[in-house]
């Protein structure tokens, strides 16, 4: 598989088969991804691979907190406080595309809630990856981490696996750090679902569009 093919095949998968991913495959992906670039070779990534009973316990704690009205608190702001165009329209279109595919209307709040809760179970994927870094790292390390995460997702495609990068899994940073015994002052950037795609699931049947190159590129010569 070449890089272009992997980039085009990668998508956010939200339903997975009940099929384990071997430790060997996970190690193989991480071993290759560690070659991602980072400023002055800081390699800021710290990865928690969560499966089995620990995953069940952790996602149960998060779901209970959510149902009790605790909205959680991430370690940093992922999205803008005030949405402006064209990002506002893209965000709305993204949500509408998913709910339209699932035939969940704006009035069906209970179904919307259950679909959102699936985030905190890593969409029932067998593997939940969680990504931490030390609190003294700065903005450049977020850029480094993005390249590391993309490497993992492309390598997963090569291995016949699917992923969904999830900012939502960082919503309950305190619960996650306590459960996994990470320092409370560390930064939980995001999580990622990893497993085998359920290709029969309706939620996996759509693809979000991408802008044409000429809408975001200028050439100077």
At 154, give phi and psi (nearest 5°).
-70, -40
Q: What is the mean pLDDT of residues 130-134?
A: 98
Residue with tokens 């809630």: 113
pLDDT at 1: 86
Contacts of 149 (CB under 8 A, 6+ apart): 131, 165, 190, 192
3-class SS string, the chain: CCHHHHHHHCCECCCECCCCCCHHHHHHHHHHHCCCCCHHHCCCCEEEEECHHHHHHHHHHHHHHHHCCCCCECCCCCCCCCCCCCHHHHHHHHHHHHHHHCCCCCCCHHHHHHHHHHHHHHHHCCEEEEEEECCCCCHHHHHHHHHHHHHHHHHHHHCCCEEEEEHHHHCEHHHHHHHHCCCCCCEEEEEEEEECECCCCHHHCCCCCCCCHHHCCCCCC
Q: Where are the domains of the chain?
A: 3-80+121-202
The model carries a pTM of 0.96
- The rounded percent of the chain whose pLDDT value lies above 90 is 99
69 pLDDT more than 90: yes
137 pLDDT more than 90: yes
Terminal C-alpha separation, the chain = 34
- Per-residue confidence at 215, pLDDT binned at 50, 70, 90? very high
Q: Give me the CATH code for the 3-80+121-202 domain, please.
A: 3.40.109.10
- Per-residue confidence at 54, pLDDT binned at 50, 70, 90? very high
At 194, give phi and psi (nearest 5°).
-140, 130
Cα 187 from chain centre: 15
Distance separating alpha carbons of residues 97 and 91, to the nearest angstrom: 10
Neighbours of 211 (CB within 10 A): 10
């Amino acid at each position: 598989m070449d890089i272009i093919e992997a980039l085009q095949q990668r998508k956010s998968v939200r339903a997975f088969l009940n099929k384990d991913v071997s430790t060997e495959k996970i190690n193989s992906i991480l071993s290759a991804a560690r070659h991602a670039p980072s400023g002055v070779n800081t390699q800021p990534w710290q990865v928690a691979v969560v499966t089995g009973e620990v995953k069940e316990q952790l996602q149960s704690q998060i779901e209970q907190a959510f149902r009790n009205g605790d909205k959680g608190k991430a370690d940093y702001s992922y999205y803008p406080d005030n949405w402006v165009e064209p990002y506002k329209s893209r965000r709305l279109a993204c949500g509408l595309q998913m709910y339209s595919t699932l035939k969940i209307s704006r009035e069906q709040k209970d179904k919307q809630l259950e679909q959102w809760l699936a985030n905190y179970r890593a969409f029932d994927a067998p593997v939940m990856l969680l990504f931490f870094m030390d609190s003294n790292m700065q903005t450049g390390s977020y850029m480094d981490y993005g390249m590391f995460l993309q490497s993992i997702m492309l390598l997963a495609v090569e291995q016949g696996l699917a992923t969904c990068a999830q900012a939502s899994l960082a919503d309950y940073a305190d619960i996650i750090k306590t459960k996994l015994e990470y320092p409370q002052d560390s930064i939980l950037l995001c999580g990622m679902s990893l497993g085998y795609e359920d290709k029969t699931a309706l939620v996996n049947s759509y693809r979000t569009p991408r802008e044409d190159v000429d809408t975001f590129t200028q050439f100077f010569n």
